[in-house]
Amino acid sequence: MEKEKDHIIPYRTFLYVLALLIALTLTSVAITQIYLGTLTVVIALLIAAVKSSFVLRIFMHLKFENKIISIAVVAVVLVLAAVIFITFLDYLYR
Amino acid sequence: MNTQTGIVEPSFLEHKGKYTGIFSWIFSTDHKRIALLYLFSILSFFVVGATLGLLMKFELIAPGKTIMTPEAYNAFFTLHGIVMIFAVVIPGLPAVFGNFLLPIMIGAKDVAFPRLNLLSWYLYVAGVSLVLISQFAGQGPPDTGWTFYAPYSFRTAGNMLPAVFGAFVLGFSSILTGLNFLVTMHRMRAPGMTWLKMPLFPWTLYATGWVQLLATPIIGITLLMIVAERTLHIGFFDPTLGGDPLLYQHLFWTYSHPAVYIMILPAMGAISEIITTFAHKTIFGYKFMVVSALAIAFVGYFVWGHHMFTSGMSGTALYTFSLLTFLVAIPSAIKVFNWISTMHQGSLDLQTPFFWAAAFIFVFMVGGFSGLILGSLAANVHLHNTHFVVAHFHFIVFGGTGFAFFGAMHYWYPKITGRMYDTRWANIGLVLFFIGFITLYGPMFYLGFKGMPRRYYDYDEVFHAGNIISTMGSWVLYSGLAVIIINLFASLKGGIKAPADPWGGKTLEWTVPSPPPVENFDEIPVITKGPYDYQ
Amino acid sequence: MSTTPELHRDDQASKIGMWFFLFTEMLLFGGLFIVYSIYRFRNAEAFHQAAHELSIPIGTINTIILLISSTTIAMSVTAIQKKDKKLALILLCTTIVLGLAFLVNKYFEWGAHLKEHIYPGSSVLALRGQGDVLFYGLYFFMTGLHALHIIIGLIFIAVITRMIYKDKLNSESYALHENSGLYWHLVDLIWIFLFPLFYLIT
């Protein structure tokens, strides 16, 4: 059982990411105060997706893990999206 | 025998660990013992479910009341479904044969998380206990069918909460089994066993593991929503509060359709192993078998609406689901073709497991074709909620998973118990069972086509003859079952001792003693060849 | 069965196992997102209006609380890797405090609704119309399930904090620590989506 050389993320990196995440949060609050119709939800979710990708890649270490885990995460999200899409094929066209 | 010390290691059955007596079983983290714990539980519940079925069929031997009230009949078919689906067929092959064989077939000493494995059995026991409690406590047993459709499931006075919680806990057990197997295959394959040198039974367990992982949580949350409806009147599926009962059906079937692939994929894997061994020939089209298993798991995730064709979905949804349903049949067809091709010009050894495999192919195809008929929108309008559907799923689930389970039981019996079963009685049992099976379920296609509804306690006189034949079939099936099970138990004491490789199989389990020692291998083997290396 | 656990220990397997478990959690909440998306589609105006009744300041503060707590627990792993036990313990305790603060905020938020008789099954809510019933049904169910996961996460973190204090986890063996962190980050991720969907869709 070889000991892998574990990758250590510097404290500073986490703090930079935190700053970015807070900035994005405040941005999403500000933007959604402006009335943009259906675009509001889309933008809010897009910002949420960007925040998530930082949490996944840095906090949860995905950037430095085996690529297969990242692919699996994306696959799971896509499967969920596909289920929602197909369900909407019912509700949209009733 | 340990080749270095010359000492014969005790088998896992004789191993003396930290605990004695029954505790050496219920506290064991040995995957082989856990497999047998599951076998004992699952077989017990199978007998419960089969007896319920027998009594239901007896009620249906004549129109009107025969032996039970209509309310009792509703409770019977509900429990029959819950037990058979959640407690027998979904855990079925993975929990018993996956647990026993997977580590050995990939050259490992156990699964990745042995304690989690034991936990999944504890959860299984807790789940089925809750289901049983629902029968006796409170206001009466559930009468919604195993599908718990809203709004009736939150309006009925019957005991829904324990039943629904029981199903939830059983789902958790299933998730943990799948998770364990997936990590085991990712991390613990023997050196040299690349993914494409892994045998097909593990491959199907791999595909199944992803379905267990990604589909089961959906029913978990749906059941929690039913609990919230019953206790809090939350309104998700209550039309008077703005909810849509059809959304319940969408969520329910988003799990329960992939669930049938949890049932059938390991069955297909076991059939692949059996056919290869008894044809003494490498499986035809190994890579196609791998890809088709993954394809079934993947495409099967998106066809759930075919359970809802007559419930009021949009036209767009209707034809999307119908198209996807036809697509998912293709990889299954590829498997059937490859099994037949494997047998072609093979050196067939006609043993009991092979007979089960051949019977499997027949009933699976009948079940599969009837599924295509049901998947056609126009035909479905006529056939939905009739006995045609009942025939379809019994052929494909009982016929499919059930036959594969018995085939696997006989195939791996020598390995697990160290004994050979009595072949004559095994074959007699099989023949009785098969004749009973066809007689019981065959007429249902006709009855359904002629319009006999399912889950109905009573029926028109015009369906009487077909029902008499069907009920008599249930008696023959049940007696076949008795012969099979009694033979397997009797052979535990009376059977001749089995060698390591009674069938001439090439996968790793046949290289270890029968029964295997606790840690399976003295030394982890190094793999250099493919799994089915016949000359 | 094994007398030498070190030989059988596979940290990568534990990590993959935790990721697979996180997938099940993603699908668990995913089912609720399915329900949310359908009912929002069918009751767009009512959801829009009802969202006004949620406090954006409290929601934003809670979001930031969880983001900071994710940062502290991630930094605690670095601390353990660098053999800085004291810093790791401080960061983990901070994480727990922040998690508890989130729950306290939630308690006051829910309390305000309960005082107005807005809760699943209440007649007041039923009178307001179907869109509102569904919005608040989803709000209580999803934030409630999320709060349950916060509690579970805090229990995990408390356990590993104690283990680190007792030197049972250290720079040579910290898989349990990392995996608890992964669970906590997931709880944060779910909130990252819950926040806009309930508070910001005004």
Contacts of B17 in chain C (CB under 8 A): 1
Same domain, A77 and A91: yes
* CB B98, CB B204: distance < 8 Å: no
Q: Which helix (H) or strand (E) holds B145?
A: none
* Selection from B145, B142, B94, B414 nearest residue B261 by Cα: B94
Which residues, in sequence order, are bridge partners of residue B11? B517
Domain annotation covers residue A1: no
pLDDT band with cut points at 50, 70 and 90 for residue A5: low
* CB B296, CB B336: distance < 8 Å: no
* Selection from B482, B532, B39 nearest residue B289 by Cα: B532
Q: Collapsing DSSP states into helix, strand and coil, what is residue C155?
A: helix
Chain A's closest residue to B249, CA to CA, is A87
Residue B520 in tokens: 């399976």
DSSP assignment of B292-360: HHHHHHHHGGG-GGGG-TTTT--HHHHHHHHHHHHHHHHHHHHHHHHHHHHHTTS-----HHHHHHHHH
pLDDT of C201: 83
Q: What is the CATH number of the domain that holds C138?
A: 1.20.120.80
Query: Would an 8 Å CB–CB cutoff place C60 in contact with chain A?
Result: yes
pLDDT band with cut points at 50, 70 and 90 for residue C6: very low
pLDDT, tens only, C162-198? 999 999 998 989 999 999 999 999 999 999 999 999 9
Domain annotation covers residue C175: yes
Rounded distance between C-alpha atoms, residue C32 and residue C40, angstroms:
12
Cβ neighbors of B337 (< 8 A, separation 6 or more) are none
Domain that holds residue A88: 66-94
Same domain, A84 and A55: no
Cβ neighbors of C7 (< 8 A, separation 6 or more) are A1
Domain annotation covers residue C5: no
Q: Collapsing DSSP states into helix, strand and coil, what is residue C170?
A: strand
Residues lower than pLDDT 50 in chain B? none
pLDDT of C5: 43
Query: Would an 8 Å CB–CB cutoff place B314 in contact with chain A?
Result: yes
Domain annotation covers residue C3: no
**How many A-C residue pairs are in contact by the CB < 8 A criterion?**
110
A52–C193 CB contact, under 8 Å? yes
Domain annotation covers residue C74: yes
Domain annotation covers residue A84: yes
Cβ neighbors of B376 (< 8 A, separation 6 or more) are B322
Residue C134 in tokens: 């569904």
Q: Collapsing DSSP states into helix, strand and coil, what is residue A37?
A: coil
pLDDT of A3: 44
B215–C17 CB contact, under 8 Å? no
B315–A82 CB contact, under 8 Å? no
B179–C24 CB contact, under 8 Å? yes
* Selection from C59, C38, C40 nearest residue C48 by Cα: C40
Number of domains in chain A: 2
- The set of chains that have 3 or more CB pairs under 8 A with B is A, C
Domain annotation covers residue C2: no
Phi, psi dihedrals of residue B497, rounded to the nearest 5°: -65, 140
Rounded distance between C-alpha atoms, residue B483 and residue B505, angstroms:
27
pLDDT of B2: 54
Domain annotation covers residue C45: yes
Task: State mean pLDDT over C85-104.
Answer: 97
End-to-end CA distance of chain B: 28
* Selection from C129, C128, C120, C138 nearest residue C37 by Cα: C138
* Selection from B415, B366, B399 nearest residue B514 by Cα: B415
Query: Residue C192 is nearest to which of A48, A72, A77, comparing CB atoms?
Result: A48
Domain annotation covers residue C4: no
Which residues, in sequence order, are bridge partners of residue B453? B386
- The set of chains that have 3 or more CB pairs under 8 A with C is A, B
Which residues, in sequence order, are bridge partners of residue B386? B453
Residue B523 in tokens: 């030394």
Task: Identify the structural domains of chain B with CATH numbers, from first to last.
Answer: 23-511 (1.20.210.10)
B519–C1 CB contact, under 8 Å? yes
* Selection from B219, B183, B1, B23 nearest residue B110 by Cα: B183
pLDDT for C2 beyond 50: no
Rounded distance between C-alpha atoms, residue B489 and residue B494, angstroms:
9
Rounded distance between C-alpha atoms, residue B417 and residue B427, angstroms:
19
SS3 per-residue string spanning B152-216: HHHHCCCCHHHHHHHHHHHHHHHHHHHHHHHHHHHHCCCCCCCHHHCCHHHHHHHHHHHHHHHHH
Domain annotation covers residue A4: no
**How many other C-beta atoms lie within 10 A of the C-beta of residue B11?**
17
Total residue count of chain C as it appears in this document? 202
Domain annotation covers residue A50: yes
Same domain, A51 and A70: no
pLDDT of B308: 97
Domain that holds residue C32: 11-199
Same domain, A79 and A53: no
Domain annotation covers residue A2: no
Number of domains in chain C: 1
Chain-centre distance for alpha carbon B286: 23
Q: Collapsing DSSP states into helix, strand and coil, what is residue A4?
A: coil
Residue B391 to residues B317, B412, B457, B526, C188, Cα–Cα distance (Å): 26, 29, 17, 47, 48
B317–A82 CB contact, under 8 Å? no
* Selection from B221, B120, B125 nearest residue B180 by Cα: B120
* CB B339, CB B275: distance < 8 Å: yes
Q: Collapsing DSSP states into helix, strand and coil, what is residue B11?
A: strand
pLDDT for C4 beyond 70: no
pLDDT, tens only, A27-74? 999 998 887 777 888 899 999 999 999 999 999 999 999 999 999 999
* CB B283, CB B362: distance < 8 Å: no
Domain annotation covers residue A33: yes
Chain A's closest residue to C181, CA to CA, is A60
Domain annotation covers residue C162: yes
Q: What percent of chain B has pLDDT over 70?
A: 99
Same domain, A16 and A48: yes
Phi, psi dihedrals of residue B419, rounded to the nearest 5°: -125, 160
